């Protein structure tokens, strides 16, 4: 059973996270030839103050 862990900056809508989960699940199901109910996806929100790029904290999610 595949387990996918995704970490993203907090602030993304539930609708967006649902879509990410759906697409990841579909892709793995297709490639691995597994039923969708065998694939687990967890999305973890990370505060911008705990997410660093080039040694600096990120404050807002990109592309939201």
Residues forming the active site: 2
Q: Which two tokens stand for residue 36?
A: 């969708």
Q: Pick the closest to residue 60 from 8, 7, 6, 9 (CA basis).
A: 9
């Amino acid at each position: 059973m595949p387990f996918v862990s995704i970490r993203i900056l907090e602030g993304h809508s539930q609708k967006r996270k649902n879509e990410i989960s759906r697409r990841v699940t579909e892709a793995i199901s297709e490639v691995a030839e597994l039923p969708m109910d065998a694939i687990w996806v967890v999305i973890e929100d990370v505060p911008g103050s705990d997410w660093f790029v080039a040694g600096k904290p990120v404050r807002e999610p990109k592309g939201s």
